[in-house]
Structure 1
Amino acid sequence: MGEITAIKLTSIYEPPDDERLISLFTSDCIGRGYSKRTIEGYVSHAKFFLQMCGVNAGFTELEGFLVHIRDERQYTLATCNNYFASLSTFFDFLEFKHIIERNNIPTFRKRYLRSYKKYHTPETRQLITIEDMAKLVKVPGYPMYQALIIFLAKTGIRRNELITLDRADIDLEKCTVRLKKTAKRSNRIVFFDSETKVFMEEYLNKRHDKEKALFIGKQNGHRIQRNLVYNVVTSAASSIGLHNPDGRLEEHFTPHCCRHWFTTWLRRSGMERTFIQELRGDSRGEAIDVYDHIEKDELREAYLKCIPQLGIKP
C-alpha cells in the first residue's frame, strides 16, 4: 500500500466516492493507533469489497461476497474470517461517521461464519468468542478456579508457567507477573488488567495459609498440578458446550486454548506481531530480533489497549 499518511478530514456528509472512503478510513485507523501492517490488511480487504459490492451492501450482497471468496476463490476459513474482521472494522467506521445507518457485519458473521464446518476443514484448535470466555470464567463457583481461568486467558501463559508461580511473583498493584525462567520463555514479565486483578484479589483474600504457591489445590492446599489445571478448564468448558472430550481436536477446549484465545484476540484487536511475540515469550528467531528492544511501558500500554474485556466480576 506504500507509506501510510494521515489526510485532512472534510465534512463527512458530502457524498464520498470509494477512493475518498478509503482515505478517510485509513486516517481513522491511524488515529486509532493500528499498526501499518494491520491498516494495510484492512484497507486491502475494504477496497476489494467496495469494488465488488459497494458501500450500501446489504445481507444479500454480503452472502454473495462470502460465497465468492469461500467457494469460487476457495479461500481458507482463516482468510474468510480475516476479510470479515476487516470489513467489520470498516463498516463500524462508516456507521460512526453516519455514512451508513448500521454495521451489519457482526450479525452476518454470527450467522454464516460459525457454520464453517459445512464448508471448510476445521481449524486445529478451537477459538471461542469473548462472550464465551466470559461465560467460561463465571462457570466455576470456586474463586480459585475462576481466577485460574481468567489468569490463563488474560496473560496467555503456558500451563507449566502457571503451576510454578508463587505469590511473590505477582504484583497486584502494578498488575504484573514475573515468570520462572524456562528454555521456552524469552520474556518473563507479563501483564494482566484490572478485570483480572479483581478476580485475583477475590481469590487471594480468601487465602489464610502460608503456602507460597500462587494457585493451590482445593483439597490438599498445596501447589496445583497439571491434571487439576486441565480438569478445571475442561470441566467448565464442558458445562457450557465448549468441550467435547470424545470429539475431534477442534471440539476440545483445553488450557492451551486459553493461550490461543489470548494470541488471536490481541491480533484481532490490532496489536503488532512483535508485541504479541514478546507477551507470549516466544524465542526470537532472527538475529535482528535480538536488537529489537521493546520498552516495558510501551508493551504494557499496547496490552491494556488490546486485551479483550469480558465485562464480568466475581
Structure 2
Amino acid sequence: MSSTRAPDEVDDPIGYFIEDLTYHGKTERTRDSYERVLRRFESFLDHDMTPASATHRDCMAFVHSLRGDAADSTVATYAAYLHRFYGYMTEVGVFEGNPMTLVMEEMDETVDKDPARRDVSIPAMREFVAGIRHPLHRALVVALLKTGMRVGELCNLDLRDLAIDDEEVRETFALGTRPALADRPNSLYVTPDATVGEELNGEARTASNKRKRATVIPIDDELMGTLKRWLAVRPDGPSSADPLFVGTAEGWGERLDPQAVRHVVERYAREAGWYRTGGGAAENVTPHYFRHFFTTHLRDRTGDRGVVKYLRGDVADDVIDTYTHNWGDQVRETYEANVYQLLR
C-alpha cells in the first residue's frame, strides 16, 4: 500500500502510518517499535472494531491492560506511541479525531499527583512569600508560583516578553514588543525557541525552553505589582536583549541563570524548614516544586485541565491551538477567576 492513496482508500491505517514514518526518515528500529505497539493495540480491540472506530474508553482499557505486566515507563511509552499514531492520522485526514488526547491528560494527572511529595497549603505559601523582602527574590518566586513556568523559561524572559498595561512603566521600559502581545496586555510570552548555547535576541542563552509551542500567560494584579516593584530597582546590564531578571550581587546586571534562581529558592526554603540537604525531590521545595504547586492548586480550583496544561506549555498541538484561539475568552478569564492569592 502506498501512503499516496487518498484517506478514504486506506484499509490498513497502521501500515499507512508505518510507511509514512519511513518517508519521514525514521529508522527501522523505530518503525518496528511503533508497529509492535500498534499491532498489539489492534489485537486488543474487539473483533468487530478497528483503530479508526476505537473510542477513548477503548484506548484507556488498552493502557490499563498494560499495567502490572509492564513498568510505568513502558506504559507511558506505549501510550505516547498510540497518541502520536492517532494525532498523525487525524492530521492527514484518515481519522476524524484523536481519542488518546483525553487519555494522555488523565495519565498526566496521575503522574503529577505524587503522594510522597511535600504538600504545602496556599496559606502556608502566603507565609513563605511574606518572608521574602528582596524585590528580585520576591519577583522570581511569585512569577514561578503564579505562572507554573520552568526555571529555565523564567531566566530566558526578556523585557520584550512582558506586557504591562501601565503608562509610566511603558515610558521607562520597552516592554511587550512581541507581536503576540499586541492585543494581550498584562501577559508574559514564553518562547519555544531558546536553546543552550544558541543566540536569541542577540544573546547566547544558558538555558533551554522545553516548550514546543509559544505560550502567552496572563498575569494578575499581584504578579504585575511584584514585577513593577522589581523593574523600579532593576539594574541596567550589558546585554542588548534586555533580560527581565538580572543579578543584583555577583554578576551585577547580567542575566540570571537557573542555578542562581535555585540558590535563591533554596535559601528561603531552608529558612522555612522546607529544604534539607539530601532530602530529595519529594521533600525539598525547589523551583520545580513551584510548578507542581501551580498545577495542583490551579487545576483543583478550575476543574479545567486543558487551561492548566496550556499555561504549563505541555499540551498536544490540537489542544494548544484551541486555547490559543480562545485566549481572551477562556484562558485569561479562567486564570483570573481562579488563580490563588499569595500576597496579603
Cα contact 2:117–2:282 (8 A) shared by 1: yes
1:282: how far off?
Answer: 0.8
The root-mean-square deviation of aligned C-alpha atoms, in Å, is 2.2
Mapped to 2, the partners of 1:290 and 1:159 lie a distance apart of 21
Cα 1:295/1:225, change in 2 over 3 Å: same
Tell me which residue corresponds to 2:229. 202
Are residues 300 and 290 of structure 1, via their aligned partners in 2, closer, same or farther at CA, if it must alter by over 3 Å? closer
**Which residue number corresponds to residue 175 of structure 1?**
186
Aligned residue for 1:235?
Answer: 267
1:141 counterpart SS class? coil
Cα separation, partners in 2 of 1:161 and 1:291, compared to 1, 3 Å: closer
Quote the Cα distance in structure 1 between the aligned partners of 2:305 and 2:320.
15
> Following the alignment from structure 1 to structure 2, what is the Cα–Cα distance between the partners of residues 271 and 127?
19
- Identity fraction in percent: 29
CA–CA separation in structure 2 for the residues paired with 1:224 and 1:278: 26
**How many angstroms does 1:250 deviate by?**
1.9
Question: Number of aligned pairs?
Answer: 190
The residue matched to 2:302 in structure 1 has which SS?
Answer: coil
**Structure 2 counterpart of 1:141, from 133, 141, 156:** 133
Secondary structure class of the residue paired with 1:165: coil
Are the equivalent residues in 1 in contact too, given 2:122–2:342 (CA < 8 A)?
yes
Query: After superposition, where does 1:90-109 map in structure 2 within 5 Å?
Result: none
Cα deviation for residue 125 of structure 1 reads: 3.2
CA–CA distance in structure 2, aligned partners of residues 306 and 256 of structure 1: 21
* Equivalent position to 1:295, from 316, 326, 333: 326
- Structure of greater Rg: 2
2:303 counterpart of 1:311:
no
**Aligned residue among 278, 290, 293 for 1:261:** 293
**What's the counterpart of residue 115 of structure 1?**
none
Counterpart of 2:96?
none
Q: Quick one: which of 208, 213, 216 aligns to 2:243? A: 213
CA distance in 2, matches of 1:140, 1:208: 19
TM-score, normalised with respect to structure 2: 0.51
Secondary structure of the 1:189 match is strand
1:114-193, aligned counterparts within 5 Å?
123-173=115-165, 174-182=185-193, 183-193=210-220
Distance 1:291 1:224 in 2: 31
Give the equivalent residue in structure 1 for 2:307.
275
Q: What displacement does 1:242 show?
A: 1.6
Letter in 1 for 2:215: R
Q: Which runs of 5+ in 1 are unaligned?
A: 1-121
Equivalent residue, structure 2, for 1:224: 256
- Distance in 2 between residues matched to 1:187 and 1:160, nearest whole Å: 15
* Corresponding residue SS for 1:250: coil
Please list every run of at least 4 consecutive aligned residues from structure 1 whose deviation after the TM superposition is greater than 4 angstroms: none
In 1: Cα distance, 2:134 partner to 2:125 partner: 17
TM-score (norm 1): 0.56
In structure 1, distance between residues paired with 2:320 and 2:186: 26
SS in 2 for 1:249: coil
In 2, the alpha carbon distance for the partners of 1:157 and 1:186 equals 13
Give the Cα–Cα distance (whole angstroms) in 2 for the partners of residues 206 and 218 of structure 1: 9
The 8 Å contact of residues 184 and 283 in structure 1, kept in 2 or not, is answered as no
Letter in 1 for 2:147: T
Cα pair 2:130 2:343 within 8 Å, conserved: no
Kindly state the Cα deviation for residue 138 of structure 1 after the two structures are TM-superposed: 2.6
- Work out whether residues 124 and 249 of structure 1, in 8 Å CA contact, stay in contact via their aligned partners in 2: no
Report the Cα distance in structure 1 between the residues aligned to 2:321 and 2:135, rounded to whole angstroms.
Answer: 41
Checking the alignment, whether the CA contact within 8 Å between 1:271 and 1:306 is kept in structure 2 is no
Q: Give the secondary structure class of the aligned counterpart of 2:126.
A: helix
Shift of 1:206: 1.2
Deviation at 1:124, TM superposition (A): 4.5
Where do residues 55-74 of structure 1 align in structure 2 (5 Å cutoff)?
none
Tell whether the 8 Å contact from 2:189 to 2:214 is kept in structure 1 after alignment: no
Mind listing any 5+ residue stretches in structure 2 that lack a counterpart?
Answer: 1-113, 166-184, 194-209
Partner Cα separation in structure 1 for residue 119 and residue 187 of structure 2: 25
Distance 1:311 1:186 in 2: 31
Cα deviation for residue 283 of structure 1 reads 3.3
